[in-house]
Amino acid sequence: MIVSKLRKEFPFLNRMYSTSLKLRGTSHSKPLAYFDNASTTQKPKAVIDAIVDAYTNHYANIHRGVYDLSVEATDLYEGVRAKVAKFIEAKSAKEVIFTKNTTESINLVAYCQDRNLQDGDEILLTQMEHHSNIVPWQMIAERVKTKSIYSSSETEGRIEKFSTSSNNRQIKIKYIPITEDGRLDMNSLDRLVTKKTKIVSLTLMSNVLGTINPIKDIVARIKSLGSKAVIIVDAAQAVGHTKIDVSDFGCDFLAFSAHKMYGPSGVGVLWGKRELLEQMPPFMGGGDMILSVDFEKTTFNEIPWKFEAGTPSIADVIAFGKAISFIEKIGLVNIRKHEMELTSYALKKLSEIEGVKIYGINYKDRPYIDRSERLKKGRSLFFDRGSVIAFNVVGIHPHDVASILSNESVAIRSGHHCAQPLMSVLGIDAACRVSFGIYNTFEEIQRLIKGIQRVKEVFRLTTKAKRLTPQPFKSVSHSTLDFSHS
């Protein structure tokens, strides 16, 4: 993989950025060193062109028209479904549902698990989940407290009236703890998985620590404990960086977004085992998800369309197909190799800066090995980690770090990364995060390192480091929950 050649395929690198803050002695114009790939990736020309091409040459609504253009758009759209199925090793394209994003995919599963939850049941999550894999479950637990269960005849494809007997169902949410180096505490599974565990939902890769969880082992362990829990995998961070193989993982559902794998925003995927999808009630009602509707009742469409009410993001789905081709052309093995070389270099360089604290799997016990050495040892060296690094410059708030780096045209993320529960486990309020994609270079990481030195200069940390005493976090008097965190 030749990165310089690859970078030519990304038009965002053509834009030059100049300083925005007026800081002592900074003035330049550089392409952005974009290190927020865990949030969303930039788009290659092939994907951007595909959106234009879809709207220009192949656009009509799908599944409806009998005219040629509509058939053509339908074929392109459904072609991508088949492509996704192959990309994640699904048995059938019918198991692939297009949503808006990972969040919607998880919400879809959560919403439809409603009637499988009985009083006293448990949902098992992990301490390293993104808010999108916590809040939907909290909401569903709250909702089933008072709401009655769907009547069973609805599985035959007919909406019956809701059962009027309201039974109070208390659902407990438990969390798999993390170890000090940011891995899941596998031993806790024996204790946490019980007969009452109906749902296990966990991330394949942490969006903060970069930890890659051994999903296959976890699924096997849960099953060996005799649990029949539905297992959902949030693959948002892993997709496009490492191989997703649903048949190998053994999970029941898997969710991810196109926009984190060089595809367009507005397209998410939910993969689910066919028999489970068929049993599930629809998520949203509307057009395209029905077989027939009369004034009293509706017969639902088959999977996957049962879950795709309304006109989807047609052009974006079509362009998503190009993103998959783009990744396949480079090869996930090559992508992973490049990204982990960057990660290992960045971990080494960051560790060398005094006052930088790295969270998660670091190199204390695993020294940096140069490329030739590592190739000899094999790729498995990095099986437990992806290209996301969370760190703090001790004494400086991550927002200040990010602002000053932004002035150097280096884009990093700062904040709680939509993982406030994890932040509290780590004992911090916020962190800096860098995450690498295929277009990142060693030179860009050097700019990051220089930028962090600059941060320390601006804050005079090299000379005097007088700091605020951290205040213990106190509960805030907000009456409403704010779900707008992103």
Partner 1 sequence: MDIYREEILEHWRSPQNFGKLEDADFVIDQINPLCGDQVTFYFKIKKGKIGNVSFTGKGCAISIASASILSEAILNKPVTALAKITGRDVLKMIGGPVGPARLKCAFLSLEAVKKLAISD
Binding site for partner 1 (CB under 8 A): 20-24, 396-400, 403-404, 406, 414-416, 420, 423, 429-430, 458-460, 466-468, 470-471, 473-474, 476-478, 482, 484-485
Closest CA to 236 of 83, 99, 94: 99
Residue among 19 and 151 whose Cβ is closer to partner 1: 19
Q: Which amino acid is at 312?
A: P
Shortest distance (Å) from residue 37 CB to partner 1: 18
Shortest distance (Å) from residue 373 CB to partner 1: 39
Beta bridge partners of 234: 203, 255
Residue among 63 and 485 whose Cβ is closer to partner 1: 485
Q: Please check whether residue 106 is in contact with residue 271, taking contact to mean a CB–CB distance below 8 angstroms.
A: no
Residue among 183 and 416 whose Cβ is closer to partner 1: 416
Residue identified by tokens 């269960």 is 149
Backbone angles phi, psi at 390, to 5 degrees: -105, 135
Shortest distance (Å) from residue 323 CB to partner 1: 28
Residue among 175 and 459 whose Cβ is closer to partner 1: 459
DSSP 312-346: --HHHHHHHHHHHHHHHHH-HHHHHHHHHHHHHHH
Is 418 part of the annotated catalytic residue set? yes
- Kindly report the number of other CB atoms within 10 A of residue 256's CB atom: 27
Backbone angles phi, psi at 415, to 5 degrees: 135, -155
- Percent helix, strand, coil in the chain, to 5, is 40, 15, 45
Residue among 26 and 118 whose Cβ is closer to partner 1: 26
3 state SS of 297:
coil
Q: Please check whether residue 267 is in contact with residue 313, taking contact to mean a CB–CB distance below 8 angstroms.
A: yes
Shortest distance (Å) from residue 207 CB to partner 1: 16
Shortest distance (Å) from residue 134 CB to partner 1: 15
Find all residues with CB under 8 Å of 334, minimum gap 6, and list them. Answer: 1
Shortest distance (Å) from residue 459 CB to partner 1: 7
CA atoms within 13 A on the CB side of 19: 11
- Residues 263, 37: Cα–Cα separation, whole Å: 12
Backbone angles phi, psi at 247, to 5 degrees: -75, -30
Shortest distance (Å) from residue 457 CB to partner 1: 10
- Residues 159, 197: Cα–Cα separation, whole Å: 28
CA atoms within 13 A on the CB side of 447: 22
Residue among 3 and 428 whose Cβ is closer to partner 1: 428
Q: Please check whether residue 348 is in contact with residue 282, taking contact to mean a CB–CB distance below 8 angstroms.
A: no
Q: Please check whether residue 260 is in contact with residue 436, taking contact to mean a CB–CB distance below 8 angstroms.
A: no
- Residues 249, 296: Cα–Cα separation, whole Å: 42
Shortest distance (Å) from residue 34 CB to partner 1: 15
What would the two tokens of residue 169 be? 């169902």
Query: Which of 112, 251, 418, 432 does the annotation list as catalytic?
Result: 418
Residue among 240 and 415 whose Cβ is closer to partner 1: 415
Closest CA to 235 of 248, 220, 221: 248
Residue among 385 and 413 whose Cβ is closer to partner 1: 413
Pairing of strands 33-34, 410-411: parallel
Q: Which amino acid is at 36?
A: D
3 state SS of 143:
helix
Shortest distance (Å) from residue 23 CB to partner 1: 6
What would the two tokens of residue 73 be? 């758009």
Residue among 306 and 413 whose Cβ is closer to partner 1: 413
Residue among 14 and 469 whose Cβ is closer to partner 1: 469
- Residues 312, 61: Cα–Cα separation, whole Å: 9
Shortest distance (Å) from residue 476 CB to partner 1: 4
Kindly list the catalytic residues. Answer: 418
